[in-house]
Structure 1
Amino acid sequence: MSPITVVEGRRLSLTNLDKVIYPGTGTTKGEVVHYYTITADPLLAHLRDRPLSFLRYPDGPDGQRFFTKNVPPGTPAWVQTCEVPHSSSGPTRQVLVQDLSSLVWAANLVVELHAPQWTRGAPGSADRLVFDLDPGAPATVVECCAAAQWLRRRLATDGLDTYAKTSGAKGLHLIVPIEPTPSERTTAYARSLAVEAQAALPDLVVHKMTKALRPGKVFIDFSQNAAAKTTAVAYTLRARPTPTVSAPVTWDEIADCTDPGQLTFLFDDIAPRLARHGDLLTPLLDPGRARPLPNGPW
C-alpha cells in the first residue's frame, strides 16, 4: 500500500518514499518530496502561470531519464493544465503547478522543473531574458562568474537589472526582468550581447555551440529565450550525481568565487539560505522592476 497524504484537501498517493534517488548521498524520494514542501513558497511564486516541462528521473540520475512537455498519463483532474501553441505540431496541453498539492504530486514523479520565459496568458511574449552560462572543461563556474559580471555591467548600460542563480549543474543562469517582448526580439538581443561578450573577452567566452570551440571557455547560451525553449526553474532539484539545486546567488558570492564548491548547493543548503537571504529572485516577480529592451536592430 502506498501512503496516502492529504495536501490542501487533495488526497495524494505517495510511492516508494524509501527509495534512494541520489546514491551518492543516500537521499531518498521522501527527502526529495519534503524538500519541495519546505521550499514551496518561493518555488510556487516562480512557477505561477508558467506551463511546465518535466525531466523525469524516477530511478535516479543514473537511471532512465525522459523529457516531457505533455500532461503525464494519470495526472489528477485537479492539477491545472493549459493549452500551449506549437507551430509545428499543433497545440499541446502542459501542466501548471499553481499550488502545494500540485507541487507535491509533481515531486512524487521525481522531476526537474523547466519553464519558458513567458506565462500562459501571453505565449511567446517574454517577461524575462535569460543567459545560460555553460563552462567547457577545464573551465568551471569560476570562469562563468567572470563572464556573468561582464554581462551584468553591459546590461546595466541598457538600463536592465540582472539576477543570478546557479544552474544546479556546472554553470550559471542570468535572468533579467523585462517588459513583455516577442521572444524573437529577446533572442536577437541576447544573441547580440553574447557576440559582444566574445569580442570583449575572446579568451573567455564563445557564443556558438560548436563543441570544438568550447574547451576552457564559457558558452553563453542565448537560445533559451526562444519561445519553444525552457530553462530549469529556480529551486528545482537537478538530475545530477548529488541533489544539487538551481539556487539563487548574490553578486557578492559571484565576485568572491574562486572555487566551484563555493557555488554548489545541495537541497539541504536551501532552507538556511532562504532564512539568511530570503528569495533573492523576488524582484523578478514585481512587474514594476521590468524594463523595456533597447531599440534594435541587433
Structure 2
Amino acid sequence: MAKKVPVKVDGRELTLSNLDKVLYPDCGFTKAEVIDYYSRIAPVLLPHLAGRPLTVKRYPDGVTGQSFFEKNAPDHTPDWVRRVNLPVPGSTKNRESIDFAVIEDLPTIVYYANLAALELHVPQWRVDDDGNALPPDMIVFDLDPGAPATIVQCAEIALMLREVLKAEGLTARPKTSGSKGMQLYADWDCREEPSAYAKRLAQLLEKEHPKQVVSVMAKAARPGKVFIDWSQNNPAKTTVAPYSLRARERPTVSTPLTWKEVESCERPEDLVFTAPDVLARAENRGDLFARA
C-alpha cells in the first residue's frame, strides 16, 4: 500500500504519496527530490507561470515509463487551484473548451510535483483576472539541433539571432531547453502576428547562413543544422517553462543562461544543468530570466 504523508503548505492541506518512488532510475532521483526541487525553485519559477494556462507532462512511473500530457484540470483538482476555462479549437477530444490550471502559488506547485508532473509547459500569453486570454506578451525562438549538430551550434545561432533581434529593438533572453537545444525569448509588443514575425526572422537567418540554419520543419532538412522553430508562437502551442525539469536520463532543467555562457559554450556538457545545479545558480544569481 502506498504510503501517504499529510503536509501543510502555506495553509493548504495536501497529501503526498510514494515519496521514495524513483522517477529518474539512472541516478536514483526520487519523487521526494522532485517535490523538494520544485518547492525550493518556486520563488524564481512562479513569476514565469503566473497567469499562464498550464499543460503538464506527467510520468507516474518515472521517465522510463508511460507519460501523458494533461491540459484539462480534472474534477478532483483541489478547489483552491486556480482554473480558467478557455476555448480549444480543433481539440482532438472534440471539446469546445478546457478548464486549464494556472500555477500561481507554492501549494499548487507541490500538488503538481506530487502528481509526477515533471514537465511544466506554458504559452506565450497570459489570462487576465477574469480568465480572459490576453495578447501574447512574449515571443520565442526554439533552436533545435539536427545531429550531428548540438547545443554548441545552437549557441552560435543564438548569438546571430540576438543581434537580429537587437536591431529590431528587442532584447533576447536565452535558456536551455533542458533537452538538446536552446530557446530565445523576448518581450513582445504585438507589432505584428508573432508566428509570422518569427518565421520571417528564421527565414532571414536561413538565407544568410544556409549551411547552419533551417527554417522548415522537415526532418530531412535538418541534419547538421539548427532548426529555428518559429511555430511555438502559435497561441495553441506551449513551450517548456523556465526552471521546469525535463524527463531525460538525469533531472536536467530548462535553465536560464547568461550571454557570457552562450558565448563561451564549447562542448554540449557546458550547458547541461541538473536540479541541484539550478538550485545553486538561483541562490547565487537570482532569476537570470527576470524581465529588465
| TM-score, normalising length: structure 2 | 0.94
Counterpart CA distance in 2 for 1:33 and 1:218 is 34
In structure 2, what residue type is equivalent to 1:117? Q
Aligned-pair CA distance for 1:107: 0.6
Segments of structure 2 that go 5 or more residues without pairing to the other structure are none
Say whether the 8 Å CA contact 1:123–1:227 is kept in structure 2.
no
In structure 2, what residue type is equivalent to 1:178? W
Counterpart CA distance in 2 for 1:22 and 1:105 is 19
Q: Secondary structure at the match of 1:234?
A: coil
Counterpart CA distance in 1 for 2:211 and 2:34 is 40
Aligned-pair CA distance for 1:110: 1.3
Counterpart CA distance in 2 for 1:227 and 1:259 is 34
Aligned-pair CA distance for 1:78: 1.0
Aligned-pair CA distance for 1:124: 6.0
Tell me what 1:58 maps to: 60
Counterpart CA distance in 1 for 2:57 and 2:106 is 19
Segments of structure 1 that go 5 or more residues without pairing to the other structure are 284-288, 290-298
Say whether the 8 Å CA contact 1:126–1:181 is kept in structure 2.
no
1:218 to 194, 208, 226: 226
1:159 to 169, 176, 183: 169
Counterpart CA distance in 2 for 1:61 and 1:223 is 27
Aligned-pair CA distance for 1:87: 2.5
- Mapping 1:1-298, distance limit 5 Å: 1-88=3-90, 89-111=95-117, 112-121=119-128, 123=133, 125-180=135-190, 185-283=193-291
Aligned-pair CA distance for 1:143: 0.3
Q: Secondary structure at the match of 1:35?
A: helix
Q: Secondary structure at the match of 1:198?
A: helix
Post-superposition Cα deviations, 1:94-114, rounded to whole Å, max 9, x if no partner, equal 001110001100111111100
In structure 2, what residue type is equivalent to 1:12? L
Say whether the 8 Å CA contact 1:125–1:181 is kept in structure 2.
no
Post-superposition Cα deviations, 1:112-153, rounded to whole Å, max 9, x if no partner, equal 100000001252611000011000111100000011000000
Q: Secondary structure at the match of 1:193?
A: helix
Say whether the 8 Å CA contact 2:245–2:253 is kept in structure 1.
yes
Aligned-pair CA distance for 1:213: 0.7
In structure 1, what residue type is equivalent to 2:211? D
Moved more, 270-279 or 158-167: 270-279
Change (3 A) 1:181 1:92: farther
Change (3 A) 1:16 1:152: same
Q: Secondary structure at the match of 2:280?
A: helix
In structure 1, what residue type is equivalent to 2:169? G
Q: Secondary structure at the match of 2:232?
A: helix
Q: What's the RMSD between the two structures over aligned residues? A: 1.2
Tell me what 1:293 maps to: none
Q: Secondary structure at the match of 1:93?
A: strand
Counterpart CA distance in 1 for 2:26 and 2:268 is 18
Q: Which runs of 4+ in 1 moved over 6 A?
A: none
Counterpart CA distance in 2 for 1:71 and 1:156 is 39
Counterpart CA distance in 2 for 1:174 and 1:142 is 15
In structure 1, what residue type is equivalent to 2:7? T
Q: Secondary structure at the match of 1:249?
A: coil
Counterpart CA distance in 1 for 2:158 and 2:177 is 13
Post-superposition Cα deviations, 1:48-96, rounded to whole Å, max 9, x if no partner, equal 0101001111111110111121113521111110011223342211001
| TM-score, normalising length: structure 1 | 0.92
Counterpart CA distance in 2 for 1:155 and 1:47 is 24
Change (3 A) 1:212 1:194: same
Identity %: 46
Post-superposition Cα deviations, 1:3-47, rounded to whole Å, max 9, x if no partner, equal 010001111110100000001111000000000011010111110
Q: Secondary structure at the match of 1:155?
A: helix
Counterpart CA distance in 1 for 2:41 and 2:179 is 19
Moved more, 44-53 or 73-82: 73-82
Moved more, 238-247 or 88-97: 88-97
